[in-house]
Amino acid sequence: MLPKLIGAALIVGAVVVMGTYAYFSRDLPSVSALRDYKPPQTTRVYDRHGQVIGEIFTERRTVIPLSEVPRHVVLSVLAAEDADFYEHEGLDYAGILRAVGRDIVSGRAAQGGSTITQQVVKLMLLTPERTLSRKIRELILARRLENELSKDEILHLYLNHVNFGRGRYGIQEAAQYYFGKNASELTLAEATLLAGVPQAPARLSPRSNPEAAARRQRYVLSQLASKREVYWPDLTEEAIAAAREEKVETIPLPEASGGAPEVLAIARQALRTAAGDESLGEGGYAVHTTIDLGLQKHARQALQRGLRAIDERQGYRGPYPTRNRRRGPKATPPVNSLRMGRTYVAKVFKTDDGKEQLRLEVAGHPAVLRMRDLERYNPDGLSASKFARPGDLLPVSITQLGSEEDPAVARAERGPDGSVVVIEPRSRDVLALVGGYAARSGFNRATQAIRQPGSAFKPIVYARAIQSRRFTPASLVVDAPAVYEKWKPRNYEQWNYQGAVRLREALARSINMVAIRVIEDLGVQDVAEFARQDGITTKLEEDMALALGASGVKPIELANAYATFAAGGRWAPTRLVIKIVSPDGTNIPMEPLEPARDVMTPDEAYVMTSMLRSVVTSGTGTPALRLKRAVGGKTGTSNEARDAWFVGYSPSVVAGVWVGFDDSRSLGKRETGARSALPIWVEVMEVADQTPKETDFAMPSGVIIAPIDPASGFLAYEGQEDAIDEVFLTGTAPVDIARPPDVADPNMFLMEQFDEEDASPETTRLEDRVLGDLAPP
């Protein structure tokens, strides 16, 4: 009877097992899909020197072949997770029974017992839920996986997929994050420390809990020692003992990928364009750029120092002052909804020292401003209650929209912002691209802001004038008031007009009326077309005010327009992303750039460069003399000092700096391009240009130098002591010779004779009236 009962029980058991297997085998994922292992990887963006600028990822992972993982690293992982890995067929039955016993005792599915194969199934094919049904599916799939893949293939999946904490997946990312080296370079001590982490990545992190990580490492080392003779006799006892004695230290936390968010955004878009939207999720690409990361960081620091200097001069600290509140800013009226990218005048209705924040009312909506985000405007580190009082007004923008439960998050916009662009003129490589004070993603002022360049646009006007051969640097143009329909332009110094001024001097001193008369002679449409040929793609307002930079441009396109002068008259598009390498090592084809074109001859470009050098040597850009090298450039200040610029270059580097408020407020009294932007430019160029200081602009053969009379612009007379050298395009130098002061003008002699003998009383009275109108008051 008993044998029959046993037989029946076995049959029933077999039926139950088979039924359970059949039931839980339904709709299971296919293990064969793991043969084509393509997990999300990390895309890295590199600078021109191979330094990592930042990373693009959904999961930080770099897949490496098992051949690049040293044997002692593999043994450390096996000792920590599954010493019998190469002996079992995917399941550790003894371990499963132990785990089931523990689960029964605890009353819940709390204890694992998983082999590496099971962990791969759990990580890559199933959900992490802890249920009996999920465990049964895991066991079924583990056996299937062992039949589908080799042991080495399964271990390869595990080493590249498992979480090593702090958002790092796979042994390569772990080695880089904790020790700053590749997995192939790990020591046995380092390997045993990392091997212990996957069991509980948060609790066993060598960074956040080094004591627990060290205890886990000692366990792994003990497993290596106790199982050495059976499993890995090639690993010596001396090596294990040395690993126990070795002091393992993690590297300092890597700098967050925030040094160049502007570059990462452009790299991301270039990758999407070249490889498709799916490339961002897949990852594993290498995006190579022209950026110099060291210069990028320095340029932002220079911008920050320059903007803080304006803050200090203009008192952009804390809320708006309460004096003159009647004439000062008013809180923004209520609106239906807040928008990101707009500046509001918010009212402080509560200060919270405990939460270290200000509670604001922004256009009728609640918002919070964290004190840690106010470092620029709170250099003394005041508490919330000392920094502001209820009722104070503060300009802010919105960085995170609110909801019914949570208020919006605001950012102070008390002071101005700016941008810096640095370009290598021959290649048009962008060496630095700074879109704002803070290193954060979002609005990139260098490439997206459209701002009035003011007098920084004048070189484009004068370049066309030189190219036309109707003007030379020695040409005299009248600086005097004029009215064009209802527009009456003025010089910056409205009381000061110079009469006839040489073109070079007019550019150096940024005389508005001369630029207007030049564009009047050339034609507005003609100059606008020249600007377009020089890379200004922003739509220009084609009126006389174009001469004074009243039509907005983008900082990067104006800097690149100046690069045409530095490059001998040849325009080319800027380039930032130069190569994209796929995960398999092949280069991804990229969209071709717009072809380069000759906008000016090298001779014309040199003459323009020579004139721009006078801006530095004797004009509005003299602070640039501090560089003690050959540079040229131009200041720019728009109406009411809403924009401040300096764009300039040496023979090897072009840089452009813009400063202003996003909402076009005035920068403040006495702020100009020379005061606000030029110091930043100088600081950037001190690092950007590493060529010998004696490097000069090469003069082409089509340019001549001739001595001229500074007053008339004619060729200097023989022996003239105050003669100056001037550059001319071949064939454009003056032919007339200036008269010495002791030689009378025969034309004037004839005019005087005519006036005395033939002038009527009416003619004399008319002449007196005209001369009286032009005479200074």
Distances (CA, A) of 167 to 212, 215, 238, 430, 472: 19, 22, 34, 32, 63
Q: Give the pLDDT score at 571.
A: 98
**Residues 6+ away with beta carbon under 8 Å from 47:** 53, 289, 291, 292, 293, 296
The better pLDDT of the pair 567, 230 is held by 567
Q: Is the pLDDT of residue 409 over 80?
A: yes
Task: Give which of 473, 502, 518, 508 is closest to 710, Cα–Cα.
Answer: 502
Q: Is the pLDDT of residue 581 over 70?
A: yes
Structure tokens at 681: 């430019």
> What CA–CA distance (Å, rounded) separates 482 from 519?
14
Q: What is the sign of the dihedral through the CA atoms of 428, 433, 435 and 440?
A: positive
User: Are the C-beta atoms of 693 and 629 separated by less than 8 Å?
Assistant: yes
For residues 64-95, b (16+ Cβ closer than 10 Å) or e, as one string? beeeebbebbbbbbbbbbbbebeebebbbeeb
Q: 481-505, pLDDT tens digit by residue?
A: 888 877 888 777 655 788 999 999 9
Judged by DSSP in three states, 161 sits in helix
Q: Which of 205, 279, 397, 455 is catalytic?
A: 455
> What CA–CA distance (Å, rounded) separates 745 from 753?
13
Q: Give the pLDDT score at 556.
A: 98
Neighbour tally for 428: CB within 10 Å: 23
Instruction: Mark whether 337 is an active-site residue.
Output: no
Strands 60-61 and 168-169 turn out to be parallel
The pLDDT-based confidence of 777 (bands split at 50, 70, 90) is very low
One-letter amino acid identity for 145? L
Q: Give the pLDDT score at 748.
A: 54
Instruction: Mark whether 650 is an active-site residue.
Output: no
Q: 299-348, pLDDT tens digit by residue?
A: 999 999 999 999 999 999 989 886 655 667 889 999 999 998 899 999 99
- Residue 497, phi then psi, degrees to nearest 5: -125, 140
- 3-class SS shares of the chain: helix, strand, coil, % to 5: 40, 15, 40
Q: 754-768, pLDDT tens digit by residue?
A: 444 444 443 333 233
Q: Give the pLDDT score at 47.
A: 97
Q: Is the pLDDT of residue 260 over 70?
A: yes
Strands 408-412 and 365-370 turn out to be parallel
DSSP letter, residue 183: G
Q: Give the pLDDT score at 139.
A: 84
Q: Give the pLDDT score at 688.
A: 98
Q: Give the pLDDT score at 256.
A: 57
The pLDDT-based confidence of 404 (bands split at 50, 70, 90) is confident
Q: List alpha helices for 40-168, DSSP H.
A: 71-81, 93-106, 116-124, 132-148, 151-161
Neighbour tally for 132: CB within 10 Å: 11
Q: Give the pLDDT score at 771.
A: 26
Left (φ > 0), alpha (ψ -120 to 50) or beta: where does 3 sit? alpha
User: Are the C-beta atoms of 41 and 170 separated by less than 8 Å?
Assistant: no
Distances (CA, A) of 711 to 472, 477, 505, 737: 15, 12, 11, 12
Q: Is the pLDDT of residue 30 over 90?
A: no
The better pLDDT of the pair 115, 21 is held by 115
The rounded percent of the chain whose pLDDT value lies above 70 is 87
Q: Is the pLDDT of residue 111 over 80?
A: no
**Residues 6+ away with beta carbon under 8 Å from 484:** 516, 544
Q: Give me the residue label for tokens 């090592």.
A: 585
The pLDDT-based confidence of 744 (bands split at 50, 70, 90) is low
Distances (CA, A) of 200 to 86, 164, 206: 24, 9, 11
The better pLDDT of the pair 270, 442 is held by 270
Q: What are residue 656's DSSP bridge partners?
A: 421, 647
Q: For 716, how many CA atoms within 13 A lie in the half-sphere containing its CB?
A: 15
The pLDDT-based confidence of 34 (bands split at 50, 70, 90) is confident
* CB neighbour class for 4 (10 Å; exposed up to 12, middle 13-18, buried from 19): exposed
> What CA–CA distance (Å, rounded) separates 527 from 536?
11
The rounded percent of the chain whose pLDDT value lies above 90 is 75
- Residue 82, phi then psi, degrees to nearest 5: -170, 80
What global pTM score does this model have? 0.85
Neighbour tally for 582: CB within 10 Å: 15
Q: Give the pLDDT score at 403.
A: 86
Mean per-residue pLDDT, 646-665: 97
Q: Is the pLDDT of residue 130 over 90?
A: no
Complete DSSP assignment for 101-113 = HHHHHHTSS----
Q: Give me the residue label for tokens 């919006």.
A: 408
Left (φ > 0), alpha (ψ -120 to 50) or beta: where does 259 sit? alpha
Q: Give the pLDDT score at 293.
A: 96
Q: Give the pLDDT score at 326.
A: 64
Q: Is the pLDDT of residue 6 over 80?
A: no
Q: Give the pLDDT score at 253.
A: 80
Chain mean pLDDT for the chain: 89
Element (H, E) at 724: strand 724-729
User: Are the C-beta atoms of 160 and 64 separated by less than 8 Å?
Assistant: yes
Q: Which of 76, 81, 146, 262 is catalytic?
A: 81
Q: Give the pLDDT score at 758.
A: 46
Q: 616-636, pLDDT tens digit by residue?
A: 999 999 999 999 999 999 999
Q: 44-69, pLDDT tens digit by residue?
A: 999 999 999 999 998 899 999 999 99
> What CA–CA distance (Å, rounded) separates 556 from 554?
6
Q: Give the pLDDT score at 754.
A: 45
Span of 24-38, 220-234, 382-396, 732-746 with lowest mean pLDDT: 24-38
Mean per-residue pLDDT, 721-731: 97
Q: Give the pLDDT score at 270.
A: 97
Mean per-residue pLDDT, 158-178: 94
Write the secondary structure of 252-296 as one string of H (helix), E (strand) and C (coil).
CCCCCCCCCHHHHHHHHHHHHHHHCCHHHHHCCCEEEECCCHHHH
Q: Give the pLDDT score at 768.
A: 34
Q: Is the pLDDT of residue 186 over 50?
A: yes
CA 121, chain centre distance (Å)? 41
Q: Give me the residue label for tokens 């610029």.
A: 645
Q: What are residue 408's DSSP bridge partners?
A: 367
> What CA–CA distance (Å, rounded) separates 165 from 203?
9
Q: Compute, in degrees rounded to 10, the torsion defined by CA atoms 169, 174, 180, 185.
A: -120
Task: Give which of 681, 700, 575, 569 is closest to 631, Cα–Cα.
Answer: 681
> What CA–CA distance (Å, rounded) separates 666 from 671?
9
Q: Give the pLDDT score at 371.
A: 95
The better pLDDT of the pair 18, 345 is held by 345
Mean per-residue pLDDT, 606-612: 98
Q: Give the pLDDT score at 3.
A: 65
Q: Is the pLDDT of residue 258 over 70?
A: no
Q: Is the pLDDT of residue 108 over 90?
A: no
Q: Give the pLDDT score at 136.
A: 78
Span of 141-145, 327-331, 711-715, 732-736 with lowest mean pLDDT: 327-331
